[in-house]
Chain A
Amino acid sequence: MIWSIDLLILLLVVFCAVAAITVKDLLSATVIFGVYSFLMCLLWAEMGAVDVAFTEATVGAGISTVLFIAAILHTSRRSKD
């Protein structure tokens, strides 16, 4: 466990989290959310929780991004009301 790498990844995670909720486009938010998941996976693996990192990589960065995109494709760009 190296604290400087921890701090760097944690800063990137916070940056991605802020970017994912401020960006306007839903598709970009999904992609940033995937990046967030992958950085979180790096953080878990670096802190020694390899099992949690595995779950985060498969579910967070893999499946949930695909499911989000599948849901977004059924929405329209502008809301009706």
Chain B
Amino acid sequence: MRLLQERTANQKSSDSPIIQTSVRIMVPFIQLFGLYVIVHGHYSPGGGFQGGVILGASFVLLALAFDLKTSIRYMSESVNNILGNAGVLIFTGVAVLCSLFGGLFLDYSALDVIIPMGPIEWRSFGIFLVEVGVGLAVMSILVSLFWDLGSAGGMDEGL
């Protein structure tokens, strides 16, 4: 019993090969589903926020099953910051572009001046553009929130 306790104390809790292999298989499909939810947000249930949360959850799952270091290796901190800021920039950029071309804030039909494909078509496409931005921002904020909470801000080890 004592030996078992020592062995479990030495062994890290995240070393189970079953969990690691299943996570390795699951993560690409989770990310594909997240992309599907973002892209199909304006036809079916889902959207930028939900898809972004699913994309972020895939990286959280990597950090839970392996290590914080592993998830940072696949999604480095600077790339994460760039993606989050790019998401906010896409959202506000599209919105401001609409008002620059004579419409209201987030009135996508004003973007008809750039590529003429009809105001109705532009309203549908504008929602898609904005949701890509929302998805990127939500994913990066969730991943960095988990990194900071899990490692108490140290980013070296944790959950």
Contact = CB atoms under 8 A, between A and B. Distances in A.
A55 B47 CA distance: 9
A8 interface: no
A62 B57 contact: yes
B53 A66 contact: no
Given A70-B146, A71-B149, A74-B152, A63 B47 contact: no
A70 B53 contact: no
Contacts of B57: 58, 62-63, 66
Contact of A59 (B53, B149, B150, B152): B53
Given A51-B45, A51-B47, A70-B150, A63 B64 contact: no
Is chain B's binding surface mostly helix, strand, loop or mixed? helix
Nearest to A49: B45
Given A50-B45, A54-B46, A73-B159, A67 B146 contact: yes
Contacts of B90: none
23 contacts: A51-B46, A51-B47, A51-B50, A54-B45, A54-B46, A55-B49, A55-B53, A58-B50, A58-B53, A59-B53, A62-B57, A63-B56, A63-B60, A63-B146, A66-B57, A66-B60, A66-B64, A67-B145, A69-B159, A70-B150, A70-B158, A70-B159, A71-B149
Given A62-B53, A69-B159, 8 more contacts: A50-B45, A51-B45, A54-B45, A54-B46, A66-B60, A66-B64, A67-B145, A71-B149
Interface of A: 50-51, 53-55, 58-59, 62-63, 66-67, 69-71, 73-74
